[in-house]
Amino acid sequence: MPISSNWPDHMTTVFDADGVRIVDSGTRLDVILCTPENRNAQTPKTWDALAGAQQFVTAATRVVVLTGEGVSFSAGLDRSMLGAPTAENPVTLASIGMAGETALRDFISTAQSAFSWWRECDALTIAVVQGHAIGAGFQLALACDLVLALPDASFAMREPRLGLVPDLGGTHALVRAVGYPRALEICATGRAVEAPEALALGIVQYLLSPKKTDTQIDEIIAALTGPSRGVVSGLKHLLQAAEEASPELQRANEREAQIARIAELMREAT
């Protein structure tokens, strides 16, 4: 990876630092985790870069594709974050914890911003996962609207084994995908959910062929972006609201969304 077979000639690298590369090709934005030497493990700098990626989503962007270079999508939190602070790695969970609850709360809130915008933005967001997606890696994939997986993909929430809980938006996304009992079992055991099971559970929406990966992704993107950007954006926010809205409230949401669509169609017709 990255998946890039049919990138147009005018693709532009708009960011390349802190383990993240961002390539803009107009209607498609590729966000690439690019430290394959450590299986794309994440640090606070990674999260800052991922949070900043949203600034490159424009009115022309139809889809944001999140991938990881190398054999794994992301092995989760960089192990250096779990040790004592050093001159090379001054920011660790221990150093933040010693700074007090307020500092720790602010740190987690900032980290969460790297994960929350993927569903909030108007463009469609798609994670393409190969190899390991562990902890923060699993949560990052879940942050996207859709997850595509290679047959060797393996998902796991390992935070409980470290005495922690998932705290990057993953609990809400996982329960939404598989329900509370199965989410509890996956998190408490920390076991691996392999690609076929992830597909059956609804964590993954498409299982890709290693021999036709690029072609399949292009076909999936083409099908999903067949309707106009306004329609896809409207659907995205409308269906998200349906997860928690009462039937009455959702009917109101549908009315307002349809009014906005009809208004846009009328503007286009004039």
Question: Using CA atoms, how far apart are residues 129 and 204, in angstroms rounded to an integer?
Answer: 9
DSSP state of 59: T
Find, among 181, 266, 265, the residue nearest to 227 by Cα.
Answer: 265
Q: Which residues are catalytic?
A: 159
Given the structure tokens 């992830």, which residue do they identify?
198
Backbone angles phi, psi at 261, to 5 degrees: -65, -45
Find, among 21, 23, 20, the residue nearest to 8 by Cα.
Answer: 23
Q: Structure tokens of 173?
A: 């996304």
Q: Structure tokens of 209?
A: 């062929």
Edge-to-edge strand order for the sheet containing 206-207? Answer: 12-17, 20-24, 28-33, 63-68, 124-129, 146-149, 206-207
DSSP reduced 3-state for 33: strand
